[in-house]
């Protein structure tokens, strides 16, 4: 038998070498993947961090929210950065965050749309901003009030006076209002709130003010109730300054007025007070100057005595200093000069000669005390600024919190 030829041997070696090379290439070299094969398939997933989740009470779109309701914003997921609650008029409701919850600390205006804007951080970062709106209750009556004599220099007998245009009908409403209001004085002064009636809340010092005292009043009672479906829509603040210490005394029986400043007598005037009779007798008591009017017409019909009835009068007067709401003034009365100093002939006012009345008018401030003595007809506190008709202990009991 013949062996392989040289050519066949060479060819066999070449084929073997090629197979060996091919095997090495398959195990160690790069290959192009087959897109149709399962082994070559790969996927990539990217997930956004979770956002903050916020709940607001009252919920967005709610109507008839009561002005004294509390607003809460809670972070169910994440943390609260900031909350603002703004009314349609631009007023902002204060509040604070504790833990995961923001809670309002002020009441709202009635009949007002509010926008709640919340900024919060998600649990893994990222900021979320949420907005919602709600509307407060539209009451039957919007209650109004004022701080009387705010911004003025007043006499030492003038109390702080918050006067409501309609009655604060229930003790619980008066208590809530009294807790909300405050007075600050420089120098510090002892005093107490009290209700003169259900429309007049007053802060009276224990004794007459020290001259030069500054008084600041804060009455932030927006959203407080004063009666059945009566809500306050706007808070108020004010101030007043106490002037010099001037006091007047009218001795009804002696027909004399004495005026002093800082304990020194300035003037003594002859006067004529109200003539005898229950409807005309001048009232005794510690009154306070309520206001001044240079000229006016005094008409008895304004106090219930009409034209044609006994006691009717209508007369023009000058230099009028009012001391009661019931029609008592100190004023010029040239027609009664002959009786001044000896006889009481007026309808209840204090009559003075024109020059004397002019002096008293010029030198009087609202809030100056005027003490009347000698009459059996007592001045009732609600007939004027009657806070000094109470002892200190009695006045403290006028507080709704007493």
Those residues of the chain that have pLDDT short of 50 are: 1-45
CATH of 53-136, one of 3.10.20.810, 1.10.3720.10, 3.60.130.10, 2.60.40.3780: 2.60.40.3780
The predicted structure's pLDDT at residue 47: 59
Residues marked as catalytic: 331, 349
Q: What is the pTM assigned to this prediction?
A: 0.83
Task: Tell me the C-alpha to C-alpha distance, in Å, between residue 127 and each of 50, 83, 95, 162.
Answer: 10, 13, 21, 46
**Beta-bridge partners for 298:** 315
The burial of 306, by beta-carbon neighbours within 10 Å (0-12 exposed, 13-18 middle, 19 or more buried), is given as exposed
Residue-wise pLDDT for 249-298, tens only, equals: 999 999 999 999 999 999 999 999 999 988 899 999 999 999 999 999 98
Closest CA to 118 of 105, 107, 108, 104: 104
Per CATH, the number for 246-384 is 2.40.440.10
Q: Could you check whether 141-243 and 246-384 share the same CATH topology?
A: no
Residue-wise pLDDT for 202-236, tens only, equals: 999 999 999 999 999 999 999 999 999 999 999 99
What are the residue boundaries of the structural domains of the chain, listed by start? 53-136, 141-243, 246-384
Q: Specify whether the CB–CB gap between 351 and 252 falls below 8 A.
A: no
The predicted structure's pLDDT at residue 278: 84
CATH of 141-243, one of 2.60.40.3710, 3.90.1150.110, 3.40.50.620, 3.40.50.300: 2.60.40.3710
The predicted structure's pLDDT at residue 288: 98
**Beta-bridge partners for 383:** none
Give the CA diameter of the chain: 180
Residue-wise pLDDT for 93-125, tens only, equals: 999 999 999 999 999 999 999 999 999 999 888
Return the H-helix or E-strand segment holding 358: helix 354-363
């Amino acid at each position: 038998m013949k062996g392989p030829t040289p050519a066949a041997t060479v060819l066999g070696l070449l084929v073997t070498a090629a197979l060996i090379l091919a095997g090495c290439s398959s195990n160690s070299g790069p290959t192009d993947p087959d897109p149709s094969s399962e082994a070559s398939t790969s996927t990539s997933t990217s997930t956004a961090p979770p956002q903050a989740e916020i709940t607001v009470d009252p919920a967005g779109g709610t109507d008839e929210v009561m002005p004294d309701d509390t607003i809460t914003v809670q972070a169910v997921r994440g943390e609260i950065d900031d909350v603002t609650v703004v009314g349609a008029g631009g007023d902002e409701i204060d509040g604070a965050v504790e833990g995961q919850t923001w809670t309002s600390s002020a009441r709202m205006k009635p009949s007002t749309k509010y926008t709640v804007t919340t900024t919060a951080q998600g649990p893994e970062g990222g900021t979320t901003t949420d907005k919602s709106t709600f509307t407060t209750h539209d009451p039957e009556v919007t209650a109004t009030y004022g701080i009387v004599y705010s911004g003025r220099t007043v006499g030492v007998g003038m109390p702080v006076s918050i006067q409501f245009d309609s009655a604060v009908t229930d003790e619980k409403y008066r208590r809530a209002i009294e807790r909300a209001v405050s007075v600050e004085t420089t120098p510090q002064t002892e005093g107490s709130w009290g209700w003169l009636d259900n429309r007049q809340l007053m802060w009276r010092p224990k004794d007459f003010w020290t001259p030069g005292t500054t008084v600041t009043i804060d009455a932030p009672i927006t959203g407080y109730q004063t009666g059945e479906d009566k809500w306050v829509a706007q808070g108020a603040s004010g101030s007043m300054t106490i002037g010099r210490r001037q006091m007047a005394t009218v001795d009804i029986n002696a027909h004399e007025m004495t005026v002093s400043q800082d304990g020194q007598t300035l003037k003594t005037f002859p006067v004529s007070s109200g003539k005898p009779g229950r409807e005309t007798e001048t009232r005794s008591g510690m009154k306070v100057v309520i206001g001044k009017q240079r000229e006016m017409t005094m008409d008895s019909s304004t106090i219930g005595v009409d034209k044609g009835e006994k006691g009717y009068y209508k007369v023009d007067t000058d230099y009028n200093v009012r001391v009661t709401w019931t029609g008592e003034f100190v004023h010029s009365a040239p027609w009664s000069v002959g009786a001044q100093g000896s006889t009481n002939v007026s309808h209840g006012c204090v009559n003075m000669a024109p020059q004397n009345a002019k002096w008293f008018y010029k030198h009087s401030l609202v809030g100056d005390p005027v003490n009347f003595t000698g009459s059996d007809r007592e001045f009732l506190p609600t007939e004027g600024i009657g806070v000094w008709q109470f002892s200190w202990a009695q006045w403290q009991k006028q507080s709704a919190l007493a």
